[in-house]
Amino acid sequence: MVPAKNMKTPWDSLAEDRIRAAQANGEFDNLPGFGKPIPGIDEPYDELWWVKDKLKREGLSSLPPALALRLDVEQTLARIQSLPAEHEVRRELAALNERIRKLSIGPLWGPPVDVVALDVEEAVSAWRTGRAGAT
């Protein structure tokens, strides 16, 4: 005897029974994203969509270290403008210079690190000038 094509296996019926029970209990009601469009549905297909999505969710960067360091310098210089005390500015600049030093001496992938350590006194002077101009 040949089994019928539509004949369900015990696993299929078990799964269907559990799905029906969950629906009856309302476990599928009010799921996150219900009634909303699927994000990225209209964008062209990208094989690495899941990698990019994970990087975004985890807050990770896929930039080569040299470019990430340039971004770090830019963000740190912008951030120190809002710091209220000179000792905080000096601490931030010292930490930045340490990150620059570490990346400059270690083996890296991508383009070479061409960022040099910042002159702390010059940066503090610029911070003071910016604070004086803001008041």
Would you say residue 124 has pLDDT above 80? yes
Q: Is 84 inside any structural domain?
A: yes
pLDDT digits (tens, 9 = 90+) for 57-108: 888 877 888 888 999 999 999 999 999 999 999 999 999 999 999 988 877 7
Alpha-helical regions (H) of the chain? 10-24, 49-58, 65-80, 86-105, 120-134
Q: What is the pLDDT of residues 18-39, one digit of tens each?
A: 999 999 999 989 888 888 898 7
Is pTM, for the whole model, over 0.75? no
Distances in whole angstroms, Cα of residue 103 to Cα of each of 63, 78, 114: 14, 21, 10
User: Does residue 54 lie in a domain region?
Assistant: no
In a domain, residue 6? The reply is no
Q: Is 119 part of a structural domain of the chain?
A: yes
Q: Is residue 16 part of a domain?
A: no
Residue 89 lies in a domain: yes
Q: Which amino acid is at 115?
A: V
Asked if the structure places residue 99 within a domain, the reply is yes
Report CA-CA distances (Å) from 10 to 4, 7, 13, 15, 24.
14, 10, 5, 9, 21
* pLDDT-derived band at 2, boundaries 50, 70, 90: low
C-beta separation of 89 from 80 below 8 A = yes
How far apart CA 31 and CA 12 sit, in angstroms, is 24
User: Domain range spanning residue 84?
Assistant: 65-134
46 is a domain residue? no
DSSP conformation class of 84: S
| φ and ψ of 68, to 5 deg | -65, -35
User: How many domains does the chain contain in total?
Assistant: 1
